[in-house]
Structure 1
Amino acid sequence: MRTLFRTLLACGFAASNAGAAQAQTRTNPTDGAPHGVVAIGPGIVPQYDGAGDMRVLPIIMADIRWAGVNVQMRGTGLRADLVSDSRLAFGPVIGGRLPRNDADGPVGLLPEIGTAIEAGAFLGYRFGGDQLGQGSFQIEVSMVHDVSQTHNGLLGTASASYAVIRQPDVFFSLDAQTTWANQDYTRTYFGIDAAGAAASGLAAYRPGAGIKDVGAGVTAGYWFSRHFGVTARAGASYLVGDIADSPITDEGSRWQPAAGLMLSYRF
């Protein structure tokens, strides 16, 4: 089960609206059958929130439309767009957050944190764009809460993306986002109590709620046949506020990069 949620988290950063929608432009059936894209490949992500070391994980991306519902693996995991509208998107989202275990150095002497399961909802809207979506600008907000009692926190994310190129065989998009977190989240992952300070040698620290990070990324892809192509994703977020000042971040890194390369199949 832990491996499953690690994979769900990894797949989220690699999927994007621009790439997923573009994958369907040449294969949209009219018989009511499911259609969309799935992709798989290797990716690298930080070992845990605030880590300086990276880990390699499989990336699985999917964007499937059927009976007016669009099911996607992106963002923080799995979500469903329940609105049959080409511009408005709304629905539930659920995903996993990587555990903090087997960490090196002083952070490894702090209590381990298990995999967190977060659930909530998202709302998005797309402006402009031609028939293929090139030139479209999309904004989105999402809110998730820990339902696994791992950190019991609340996180809100605002993001924007722009489809620079969207042609039948190639696509390229830019995106940016920022996330706010409440103190339950920040103190679980970046706080250090007296016992943790004594065990690790790090200073005790109690962060508050606030903006967690800001980030940006690029997604690009090429379809070399009707059904097969390649999708690449690279991005990074930068920790800010109380989280950035944590001794845990000092032991790791404020920069949180992620990247992946996938073989894509559309149907």
Structure 2
Amino acid sequence: MFLRSFALTTAAACAFAGSALAQSQPYGQLRPAPQGWTVDLGAGVLYRNDSNGDTGSKTTVAPWVSANYRDLVYLSPMDGLGWNAIKTDDFRAGLQLRPRFSADDIEGLTLDRPDFGADVAAYAYKRLPGNIVVGGRVSRGVTGVSEGTEYYASVGHQRVTSVGLLNASVYVRGGDAKLADAYYGVSTAEATANGISAYSPGGGLQGAGASLFLLVPIGDKWGAGALVNYERRLGDVADSPLSQEDDTIRTGVFVARRFGG
């Protein structure tokens, strides 16, 4: 009885920051999909070092807003606006309008850094035995920030622990030369102005990493979560003069409340 109650309580919270996992990836359901709209409101704190070529660190406090309609249409800060065009018990495929966050300034350098933009992405994920989900997405910039294409593939596992819902995943990502140049290229004019070498990266593999996400239920409507992400830059982006440190770490915590469902 305790295990059943715990699983149901965990499920009631699992769509908060884990909404990207619950909505676009077909992990085993702990309870039926919502029959109408659900909205999650909260706030979180994110720490990141060496983001998008920045050689410093940054802590951000931001609101958390996500929404879900019957696991078909969803909105989240990480995945943007999404639609599960194909949705079965163990397979999901669809489209997303994803945010492409602006690049941080680099201390001591005067550079034309990419602004906030958006990508259109197509994704597909398949669940294997053991609640392991494999798949990926292809996205392309549509707001003139880079007009580049990114490729992403991941393998993840999710399970209920004595503390809460734990998700672990490993991934690789790559992209074309347009994407790499927008974030890690140095033009001739920028090189002259900053006293660094001009650099034009090519396409290919750009990074590999691992993430751990823990979601802890607090009653039926509240949830708290924590995230740790490590990534290693690879290929031409790692050789860029803007990437003086190839290791990136992101950590975050959040709390949110669910409405509806």
Residue 224 of structure 1 deviates from its aligned partner by: 2.6
Aligned residues: 242
Gaps of 5+ in 1: 1-11, 129-134
Find 2:90's aligned residue among 87, 90, 105. 87
Residue 196 of structure 1 deviates from its aligned partner by: 1.2
- 1:259 counterpart = 2:255: no
Residue 33 of structure 1 deviates from its aligned partner by: 2.7
Gaps of 5+ in 2: 1-15
Tell me which residue corresponds to 1:156: 151
Q: Secondary structure at the match of 1:236?
A: strand
Q: Give CA deviations for 1:160-202 in whole Å, capped at 9, x if unaligned.
A: 1111x32697211210111111001111211112111101111
Q: Distance in 2 between matches of 1:101 and 1:162?
A: 32
Q: Distance in 1 between matches of 2:195 and 2:18?
A: 37
Q: Quickly say closer, same or farther: Cα 1:48–1:221, change in 2 above 3 A.
A: closer
Tell me which residue corresponds to 1:118: 119
- 1:73 counterpart = 2:84: no
Q: Give CA deviations for 1:120-152 in whole Å, capped at 9, x if unaligned.
A: 211111122xxxxxx400012101111011111
Q: Secondary structure at the match of 2:252?
A: strand
Q: Quickly say closer, same or farther: Cα 1:90–1:102, change in 2 above 3 A.
A: same
Q: Which letter maps to 2:102?
A: P
Q: Give CA deviations for 1:55-78 in whole Å, capped at 9, x if unaligned.
A: 233262636242x61414265433
CA contact (8 A) 1:52 1:256 kept: no
CA contact (8 A) 2:17 2:225 kept: no
CA contact (8 A) 2:223 2:255 kept: yes
- Aligned positions of 1:81-230 closer than 5 A: 81-100=84-103, 102-106=105-109, 109-128=110-129, 135-163=130-158, 165-166=159-160, 170-230=164-224
Q: Secondary structure at the match of 2:53?
A: coil
Tell me which residue corresponds to 1:232: 226
Q: Quickly say closer, same or farther: Cα 1:26–1:100, change in 2 above 3 A.
A: closer
Q: Quickly say closer, same or farther: Cα 1:142–1:241, change in 2 above 3 A.
A: same
Find 2:66's aligned residue among 62, 65, 71. 62
Identical aligned residues as a percent:
18
Greater mean alpha carbon deviation, residues 146-155 or residues 96-105? 96-105
Q: Distance in 1 between matches of 2:141 and 2:105?
A: 22
Q: Quickly say closer, same or farther: Cα 1:205–1:102, change in 2 above 3 A.
A: closer
Q: Quickly say closer, same or farther: Cα 1:223–1:141, change in 2 above 3 A.
A: same
Q: Secondary structure at the match of 1:248?
A: coil
Q: Which letter maps to 1:116?
A: G
Q: Quickly say closer, same or farther: Cα 1:125–1:215, change in 2 above 3 A.
A: same
Residue 264 of structure 1 deviates from its aligned partner by: 3.1
Q: Distance in 2 between matches of 1:18 and 1:33?
A: 16
